[in-house]
Amino acid sequence: MCRNMEEAVNEVKCQGLRQALQQSEDRLRHVQAIAQLGSWYLDVRQNRLTWSDETYKIFGVPPGEPLCYEDFLARIPPEDRARVDAAWQAALKGAPYDIEHRIEVDGQIKWVHEKADLVFDAAGALQGGVGTVQDITERKRAEEALLLFASVFEKSGEAAIVTDRDKRIIAANPAFVAMTGYSPAELIGQNPRILASQQTPRETYRQMWETLEREGYWQGELWNRRKNGEIYPQWAAISSIRNPDGKVSHYVGSFNDISERKAAEERIRYLAHHDALTGLANRHSFESRLEQALLTAQREQIRIAVLFIDLDRFKTINDTLGHPVGDRLLQEVARRLQACVRASDIVARLGGDEFVVVLSHIVEISDAAAVADKILKSLANAYEIDGRQLYSAASIGIGVFPTDGIDGVSLMKSADTALYHAKERGRNNFQFFTSAMNAAAAERLTLERELRAAVQNRQFELHYQPQVVAASGRLCGVEALVRWRHPELGLVPPDKFIPIAEETGLIEAIGAWVLEEACRQLGEWRRAGIGDLQMAVNLSARQLRAADLVATVRELIARHGLGEGDLELEITESVAMAEPSAAIDRLHALRALGVRLAIDDFGTGYSSLAYLKRLPIQTLKLDRTFVRDIETDPNDAAISAASLALAKSLGLQVVAEGVENAAQRDFLASRGCDVLQGYLFGKPAPAGEWTARWSGKPTAG
């Protein structure tokens, strides 16, 4: 009984203990379920694995299934398996076991975190390991997503930053770093304001913050400054990020550098205002800038000067060497012009070889002269183009505000008139506008009108100037020189009207008449038995360009019975240079007709004898400017002597013009000059006077 009592008491005690144990196990299970934390025990001696209910749940295995270590390994995907196994083997040797790895549950991947300790028996021998396993799949997913977002942020080509609510930068991606030139360290903690340039209007920022506050999003254009100082436009998109409680926690901004697009737009705007070839202001922008400069000048009562610049001989260079060379020359001229003036002055190309410079503030008129002089010198320097040395020069006309005009149009007109005078004065010089120039311009217009009438009314006559053989003084030819018998002005010399005739094209009619009349006169002298004369006739550029020139000359020669060498045509160097291939062909055709060809005014142009030698010419006419000072100016003497020597070596005959005295005659004769022409032997006079003198009869009239 007593024994039974004892048993009964023990039974009750056991029951109580079992209940307590059960309760404790239930609680543990509950706690494990809440924490998603399972536990396990691996008996290494028997390779038996015991899992808690939560562990079965985590591994998706029906509870109670008997397991061993390999069953655990089998549930780890191959890519993690070796790593976990190695960690466990290391743990068995004493290393801590704390590992995150994947497991496969019904074809799905889960992440677990495991920790374990080793268990030893009382004798200190290893029994196994006890550990925990926690399902961390959700945390891993969140981490992965975060990593992904971070890498998107990092790798994005679009520059992006994140700021905290106080607008302090907390992250900046590499694209942002590249765009701004600031390192992350320099950016973090800063207000993005450090990137602002003064170029963005304050109003834009105000609107930006207002819109962000109201709508949580703003986009627009901002001008920022890179670390290197460069200012650039960017397209910005900024969002505010709010907490669940509605308070702004961050701002995120993404930015696109739009300088390239802007540059393209800018280029289009630039082209509209600039000359594409030289980059100078074009006519359109020149006019508005001149207006602007005039307004300032008016307000501040200062002078400004307009310099109208025209390149001498540009057309020749363009025609002979081709447009690419011409273009390069113009570019170089533009560069030199800009180098001659201040940045505040205007340099423009109005087209062709016409340039304008506006000196936006001069104190004295002489300031304009100084700049004009500097420009002339600069433009006259050699141009190195395609390995060739070229020379050009310019003529400049200057108009000054307010004396020569108070608005753009009148000022330009004054400068243009002055330019015309500069060209007339022999080029490579500058002229100021004077009212006398206006009078001259008006006179020119009248002359032009009257010249047209003169062509119709045949108001021209020819005077002839004798040419003699230098060695013997024997009369050998005459040069026909045209005059205009003006009803009121009397006899007008060719210098006064030939240039106008050239420009207006009237020269073709006048020249044709001159040729006809000169040939007729020579025929008449022949029939009268007067000497063995050669007739020299001046040919203008336009005449040489006319397609019917050769046919006309052929017909005249035939009609008036002229022979080989009876007719000599004089052309100037620039005419010969103008259209070389066409000109050369035409000259050859004339030569084939037995016509002699002469280069007139030799020494005043720019061409070399070597070049002229390519032309079928027989005669050089040494310009009278060299003959004039031949005895007094050693330079002129040297040029004349050298030209003579060169001409001789090329087999050309030399005629000296403007011989007025015996000393000149003797000098030229002694240097081997062939023919002389000048007042010393006779001034140009009408045919009748010569007929009378040569046939021994008294002069009629």
Q: Which residues bind ligand C2E (CB under 6 A)?
A: 465, 481-482, 493-495, 498, 511, 514, 538, 540, 570, 600-601, 624, 657-660, 677-679, 684
User: Nearest approach, Cβ of 495 to Mg ion (angstroms)?
Assistant: 11
* Closest CB 267 distance from Mg ion, rounded Å: 52
Minimum gap (Å) between residue 572 Cβ and Mg ion: 8
What span, in angstroms and rounded, lies between the C-alpha atoms of 502 and 227? 63
DSSP codes joined into one string, 631-682: TT-HHHHHHHHHHHHHHHHTT-EEEE----SHHHHHHHHHTT--EEESTTT-
The one of ligand C2E, Mg ion, none whose footprint includes residue 660, by CB under 5 to 8 A per kind, is ligand C2E
Least Cβ distance, residue 636 to ligand C2E (angstroms) = 15
Classified as helix, coil or strand, 621 is strand
Stretch that binds Mg ion, among 240-248, 292-300, 584-592, 595-603 (CB under 5 A): 595-603
* 511 binding partner (options Mg ion, ligand C2E, none; Cβ < 5 to 8 Å by kind): ligand C2E
Sole binder of Mg ion in the list 54, 600, 652, 673 (CB under 5 A): 600
From Mg ion, ligand C2E, none, interface partner of 326 (C-beta below 5 to 8 A by class): none
In terms of CB distance, is 99 or 482 closer to ligand C2E?
Answer: 482
Q: Is 538 in the site for Mg ion (CB under 5 A)?
A: yes
Give me 668's structure tokens.
């030229």
Q: Which of 626, 601, 617, 676 is nearest to 652 (CA)?
A: 617
> CB of residue 311 vs ligand C2E: minimum separation in angstroms?
23
Nearer to ligand C2E, 465 or 521 (CB): 465
Spell out, one character per residue from 652 to 691, where the chain touches Mg ion: x when CB under 5 A holds, - when not.
-----x----------------------------------
Residue ranges in 107-126 that form contacts with Mg ion under rule CB under 5 A:
none
Take residue 537 and report the two structure tokens written for it: 């006739």
Q: What is the DSSP string of 421-438?
A: HHHHTTSS-EEE--HHHH
**Cβ 393 to ligand C2E shortest distance, Å:** 21
Cβ 538 to Mg ion shortest distance, Å: 4
- Contact string 561-580 vs Mg ion (x = CB under 5 A): ---------x----------
What SS3 class is residue 560? Answer: coil
Among 345, 508, 568, 601, binds Mg ion (CB under 5 A): 601
CB 388 within 8 A of CB 349: no
Q: Please give the Cα distance from 483 to 481 (Å, whole number).
A: 7
Residue placing its CB nearer to Mg ion in the complex, 571 or 583: 571
The one of Mg ion, ligand C2E, none whose footprint includes residue 658, by CB under 5 to 8 A per kind, is ligand C2E
Task: With H, G, I as helix, E, B as strand and everything else as coil, classify residue 327.
Answer: helix
Label residue 290 exposed, middle or buried (CB < 10 Å: 0-12, 13-18, 19+).
buried
The pair of structure tokens assigned to 613 is 């030698």
**Nearest CB to Mg ion, comparing residues 450 and 570:** 570
Whole-number minimum distance, CB 515 to ligand C2E, in Å?
A: 8
Show the 3-state SS of 378-422.
HHHCCEEECCEEECCEEEEEEEEECCCCCCHHHHHHHHHHHHHHH
Q: Residue 494 binds which entry of ligand C2E, Mg ion, none, with Cβ cut-offs from 5 to 8 Å by kind?
A: ligand C2E
Partner whose binding site includes residue 482, from Mg ion, ligand C2E, none (CB under 5 to 8 Å by kind): ligand C2E
Angstrom distance (rounded) from CA 620 to CA 659: 15
Q: Which does 52 bind (CB under 5 to 8 A by kind): Mg ion, ligand C2E, none?
A: none
Tokens of 475: 């009369």
* Contact stretch for Mg ion (CB under 5 A) within 311-319, 343-351, 535-543, 549-557: 535-543
The smaller minimum CB distance to ligand C2E, of residues 322 and 493, is found at: 493
How many CB atoms sit inside 10 A of residue 354's CB? 16
Alpha carbon distance 430, 364 (integer Å): 16
Number of residues that bind Mg ion (CB under 5 A): 5
Q: In terms of CB distance, is 517 or 657 closer to Mg ion? A: 657
Q: In what order do the strands lie in the sheet with 303-312?
A: 346-351, 354-362, 303-312, 393-401, 430-432
Cα–Cα distance, 34 to 24 (Å, whole number): 15
Task: Please provide the size of the chain in residues.
Answer: 701
Q: Is the peptide bond before 402 cis (omega within 30 degrees of 0)?
A: yes
Distance CA 365, CA 413 (A): 18
Element (H, E) at 36: none
Least distance between ligand C2E and beta carbon 446 (Å): 20
Question: C-beta of 569: minimal distance to ligand C2E in Å?
Answer: 10
Q: How far is CA 53 from the centre of its chain?
A: 81
Instruction: State the nearest-atom distance from the C-beta of 697 to ligand C2E, in Å.
Output: 25
684 binds, options ligand C2E, Mg ion, none, Cβ within 5 to 8 A by partner type: ligand C2E
Partner in contact with 353, chosen from Mg ion, ligand C2E, none, beta carbon below 5 to 8 Å by kind: none
Interface ranges with Mg ion (CB under 5 A): 538, 570, 600-601, 657
